């Protein structure tokens, strides 16, 4: 079982197999459906997750100006395939990213629909991982990223201001041999989702995103859970 930051322990398989997620929780590519349903069809986005920090505090730490924040009810559908649900909710607003924040259970999430919160500045003006900065509040934090180019998926995981794991869909197979305990178990629970463009048994890119969700114990989240949260929307940049 995985213990620690997960809200509930999860029974794990001992070998790579189907993901330990509810059947309806993943889309056809293996991405958690609540993430893909929030984003554009060709995503370049980051989901930040943090414990022990409220949504507005997380937005401010990521560089958002709270004077521009407003409550949000997500629309039924996107404007078009190039728009996320949060950007559709913003309407005709010229901004780099639409940031949507809320809290589900013990976790605050911030969805950045264009990936412009990939780094934050520390007290000395140096850039650092948002997961490290967010986790300095005393809890755990993760960043789950989809990219247009380079590694298609990336994961940053930090606790108490220190990096625990940073990997991506290009490097994870090289990292797995050195992982132990809950990190290794999370990769195993993420499993694989077979894709036509991959060899049988080859790890799919979204396995990295699923690994982060296992570490956070949020394998059952749905878009309905997001819609039910008290949401805050903020134009960024």
pLDDT tens by residue, 82-131: 999 999 999 977 899 999 999 999 999 999 999 999 999 877 888 999 99
High-pLDDT (> 90) share of the chain, %: 85
- Identify the band that residue 30 occupies on the pLDDT scale cut at 50, 70 and 90: very high
- The number of folded domains in the chain is 1
Is 188 within the bounds of a domain? yes
Percentage of the chain lying above the pLDDT 70 cut: 93
Let me know if residue 9 belongs to a domain.
no
Residue 6 in any domain: the answer is no
Query: Is the Cα torsion angle 110, 175, 160, 105 positive or negative in sign?
Result: positive
Would you call 146 helix, strand, or coil by DSSP? strand
Does residue 79 lie within any of the structural domains?
A: yes
Does residue 15 sit within a domain? no
3-state secondary structure of 156: strand
As given in the structure block, the two tokens for residue 35 are 């993430």
Q: Which residues of 171-187 are buried (b: 16+ CB within 10 A; e: fewer)?
A: ebeeebeebeebbebbb
Compute the half-sphere exposure of residue 100: CA atoms within 13 Å on the CB side of its CA.
28
Closest CA to 190 of 36, 43, 51, 2: 2
Separation CA 140–CA 215 (nearest Å): 10
> For residue 16, what pLDDT band results from cuts at 50, 70 and 90?
low
Q: Does residue 5 lie in a domain region? A: no
- DSSP H or E run through 21: none
The domain in which residue 165 lies consists of: 23-236
Is residue 69 domain-resident? yes
């Amino acid at each position: 079982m995985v213990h620690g930051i997960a809200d509930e322990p999860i029974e794990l398989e001992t070998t790579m197999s189907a993901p330990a997620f509810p059947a309806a929780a993943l889309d056809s590519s293996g991405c958690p459906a609540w993430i893909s349903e929030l984003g554009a069809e060709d995503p370049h986005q980051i989901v930040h997750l943090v414990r022990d920090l409220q949504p507005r505090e997380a937005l401010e730490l990521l560089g958002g100006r709270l004077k521009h924040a407003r409550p949000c009810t997500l629309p039924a559908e996107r404007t078009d395939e190039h728009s996320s649900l949060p950007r559709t909710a913003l309407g005709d607003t010229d901004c780099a990213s639409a940031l949507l924040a809320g809290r589900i259970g013990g976790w605050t999430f911030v969805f950045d629909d264009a990936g412009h919160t990939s780094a934050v500045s520390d007290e000395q003006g140096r850039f650092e991982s948002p997961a490290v900065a967010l986790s300095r509040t005393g809890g755990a934090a993760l960043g789950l990223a989809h990219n247009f180019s380079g590694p298609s998926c990336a994961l940053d995981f930090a606790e108490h201001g220190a990096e625990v794991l940073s990997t991506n869909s290009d490097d994870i197979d090289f990292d797995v041999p050195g992982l132990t305990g809950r990190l290794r178990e999370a990769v195993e629970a993420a499993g694989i989702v077979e894709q036509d463009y991959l060899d049988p048994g080859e790890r799919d890119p979204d396995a990295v995103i699923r690994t982060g969700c296992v570490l956070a114990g949020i394998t059952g989240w749905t878009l309905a859970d997001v819609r039910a949260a008290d949401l805050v929307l903020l134009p960024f940049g």
